[in-house]
Amino acid sequence: RSINLDTLIAAFAGIETITDPHQVAKLSQDYHTFSPVLVPKLEGKVGDIVVRPANEQEVLKVAAICAKYRVPITVRGAGTGNYGQCVPLYGGVIVDMTKMQEILWVKPGVARLEAGVKLAALDKKARDLGWEMRMTPSTYRTATIGGFIAGGSGGIGSIQYGLLGDRGNLLALKVVTLEDEPRVIELRGDDVQKVNHAWGINGIITEVEIPLGPAYPWVEVIVTFDDFMTAAKFGQALGNTDGMIKKLITIFASQIPQYFHALHQYLPGGTHPAFLMVAESSLESLPGLVQQYGGQITYQKPAFEAGKGANLGEFTWNHTTLHARTVDTSITYLQSMFPADPQLQLVEHLYNYFGDEVMMHLEFFRVNGKVIAGALQLVRYTTEKRLNEIIAYHEQQGVLIANPHTYIIEDGGRKVIDPEQLKFKEMVDPYGLMNPGKSKVLQFKIKN
Ligand code: FAD
């Protein structure tokens, strides 16, 4: 069925809508712009109208209207996703969730909140009560909880708690379906995985319940090393030191600090820095380990200054790519997971093999009880063919690449869509209206 915009606007009466083409185009974008491969593929893809529901009742109404008129919908939080997850391939309605900002409650170790709450807002509220988010993407100041769950994977804190998709890191979700008569469904326990990282194709998340960790005072530290592999092995050793509480272990090859203008004075030329967040109570144990690896502590920001001045977290994870691209727009990136190996042999091989073309940026995190090296390497982009060769070489060597240069879910990190997610999809979105075109198995077909 086709419907004209006026009918849609009339149907949405009482709910905030945006129809100004400039605004609608802006709200049809995300940060896929880090990928020179995605930019031309997603160019000119815009929605027809943006709707901004303020509560669950309004979400139900939006869902009913879109189901009735068979209009595609693209749900968005802050639109900081990197894979074009928020870009509508077939126009339609953009559902902007950022008005749903209520933190419903915070109890010891757990919080329940609406999907549009910004991560920084939750963290602030939780910290007042002695708790904090277990992990946040480096975009935590702007990103929403709904967007993090539907589109993110982990970040600062993952060295302690693992990735978002790991059992225990998400407790419950409420979603609104796109059926003729939309329903509200609460998922708990393992059922949350039906919607976790589903890129907004499996229902509109309205509420989330997530576990929290104890709030530590975090000290930010930079340590520099003369040799990259020594820096990397220091990162692994700190990760393995179970007695020390840490939130961030990032290692950069020496080419990368040139992109961090605000921190230049702490990053002597030619050195390979580690950016760390360590609990104040563990700080005393750090110099011993630094000394063992021959590093130099060049910067230390005490916990009471957190939030003031430069924030090291905002130079790590995919913020590294952001800073590099500010200086040189030809730079893009990869997302990788190395096999567990305390000697980091594959890291060493790839560091040497690609030299300056692929600049090593390691993020250590915990996977199934082991600390492993992940990487968001910076790549000097030339052609798509060359980028694919680089990816293929990593994969042949045994590195898992979560390809950020595709807008197809299965071609990214997960490789396949979980059959449980598919079954749930058929139930909650019988007409295939949610973020159509983003999955291989779900080719766009609006069923009448
Ligand atoms: P959006 O981009 O708005 O949405 C992401 C996906 O979720 C889309 O598919 C959207 O359709 C869906 N969605 C949004 N809200 C809902 C909802 N209520 N119901 C159903 N589906 C929904 N990610 C990480 O995991 N770790 C990082 O460290 C990290 N660092 C980053 C650094 C930079 C500089 C940038 C640009 C991105 C980074 N990202 C990172 C990616 C992204 O910022 C995060 O995943 C973030 O949590 C996404 O939140 P958002 O509100 O912006 O989501």
Whether 316 lines ligand 1, by a CB cut-off of 6 Å, is: no
One-letter amino acid at 323 equals H
Confidence of residue 260 (pLDDT cuts 50, 70, 90): very high
Report the nearest atom of ligand 1 relative to the CA of 202.
Answer: 20
CB-CB contact of 173 with 199 (8 Å): no
> Tokens 């590294």 map to which residue?
320
Work out whether the CA dihedral 58, 64, 70, 72 comes out positive or negative: positive
Per-residue pLDDT, 374: 98
One-letter amino acid at 395 equals E
**5/96 Cα distance (integer angstroms):** 18
- pLDDT tens per residue, range 328-359: 999 999 999 999 999 999 999 999 999 999 99
Q: Which residue puts its alpha carbon closest to atom 6 of ligand 1?
A: 151
DSSP 283: G
140 C-alpha vs ligand 1 centroid, how far in Å? 10
Residue 134 has pLDDT above 70, yes or no: yes
78 C-alpha vs ligand 1 centroid, how far in Å? 7
Residue 445 has pLDDT above 90, yes or no: no
- pLDDT tens per residue, range 361-379: 999 999 999 999 999 999 9
159 C-alpha vs ligand 1 centroid, how far in Å? 20
Residue 183 has pLDDT above 70, yes or no: yes
Q: Tokens in use for 381?
A: 């982009």
Q: Which residue puts its alpha carbon closest to atom 31 of ligand 1?
A: 318
147 C-alpha vs ligand 1 centroid, how far in Å? 4
Per-residue pLDDT, 447: 47
What values do phi and psi take at 299, rounded to 5?
A: -155, 140
Whether 146 lines ligand 1, by a CB cut-off of 6 Å, is: yes
80 C-alpha vs ligand 1 centroid, how far in Å? 5
Q: Tokens in use for 163?
A: 């990735």
Whether 319 lines ligand 1, by a CB cut-off of 6 Å, is: yes
Per the prediction, the chain carries an average pLDDT of: 95
Confidence of residue 133 (pLDDT cuts 50, 70, 90): very high
Per-residue pLDDT, 421: 87
Confidence of residue 415 (pLDDT cuts 50, 70, 90): low
Whether 205 lines ligand 1, by a CB cut-off of 6 Å, is: yes
Which residue from 35, 60, 76, 85 has its CB within 8 A of the most atoms of ligand 1, so it is best to mutate?
Answer: 76
Q: How many CB atoms lie within 10 A of CB 128?
A: 10
**42/32 Cα distance (integer angstroms):** 9
440 C-alpha vs ligand 1 centroid, how far in Å? 21
Question: Measured between alpha carbons, how far apart are the two ends of the chain, in Å?
Answer: 8
Per-residue pLDDT, 336: 97
Q: Which residue puts its alpha carbon closest to atom 13 of ligand 1?
A: 147
Stretch (H or E) spanning 64:
helix 56-69
**Given strand 400-401, what is the order of strands in its sheet?**
296-301, 218-225, 272-279, 246-252, 361-367, 370-375, 336-337, 400-401
Which residue from 80, 123, 144, 207 has its CB within 8 A of the most atoms of ligand 1, so it is best to mutate?
Answer: 80
417 three-state secondary structure:
coil
Q: Given the cut 0.85, state whether the ipTM is greater than it.
A: yes
Read out DSSP for 364-413? EEEETTEEEEEE--EEE---HHHHHHHHHHHHHHT-EE--SS-S-GGGTT
Which residue from 139, 166, 207 has its CB within 8 A of the most atoms of ligand 1, so it is best to mutate?
Answer: 139
Of 184-193, 387-396, 439-448, minimum mean pLDDT range: 439-448
Per-residue pLDDT, 420: 85
Confidence of residue 1 (pLDDT cuts 50, 70, 90): very low
Residue 140 has pLDDT above 50, yes or no: yes
283 C-alpha vs ligand 1 centroid, how far in Å? 32
Question: Angle, nearest 10°, between helix axes 228-240 and 345-354?
Answer: 150
Residue 55 has pLDDT above 80, yes or no: yes
CB-CB contact of 332 with 296 (8 Å): no
Whether 347 lines ligand 1, by a CB cut-off of 6 Å, is: no
**160/154 Cα distance (integer angstroms):** 11
What values do phi and psi take at 206, rounded to 5?
A: -110, -30
Whether 153 lines ligand 1, by a CB cut-off of 6 Å, is: yes
Per-residue pLDDT, 363: 98
Per-residue pLDDT, 412: 80
Whether 78 lines ligand 1, by a CB cut-off of 6 Å, is: yes
Cα distances (Å, whole numbers) of residue 144 to 2, 39, 150, 164, 401: 32, 24, 10, 14, 25
Residue 318 has pLDDT above 70, yes or no: yes
Residue 197 has pLDDT above 90, yes or no: no
Per-residue pLDDT, 37: 98
**445/448 Cα distance (integer angstroms):** 9
Report the nearest atom of ligand 1 relative to the CA of 31.
Answer: 36
One-letter amino acid at 246 equals K
Whether 322 lines ligand 1, by a CB cut-off of 6 Å, is: yes
What values do phi and psi take at 353, rounded to 5?
A: -65, -45
Q: Domains of the chain (ranges plus CATH)? A: 5-96 (3.30.43.10), 103-214 (3.30.465.10), 218-401 (3.40.462.10)
Residue 448 has pLDDT above 70, yes or no: no
Going through 80-159 in order, the beta strands assigned E by DSSP cover 93-96, 103-107, 110-114, 131-133
DSSP 53: -
CB-CB contact of 216 with 304 (8 Å): no
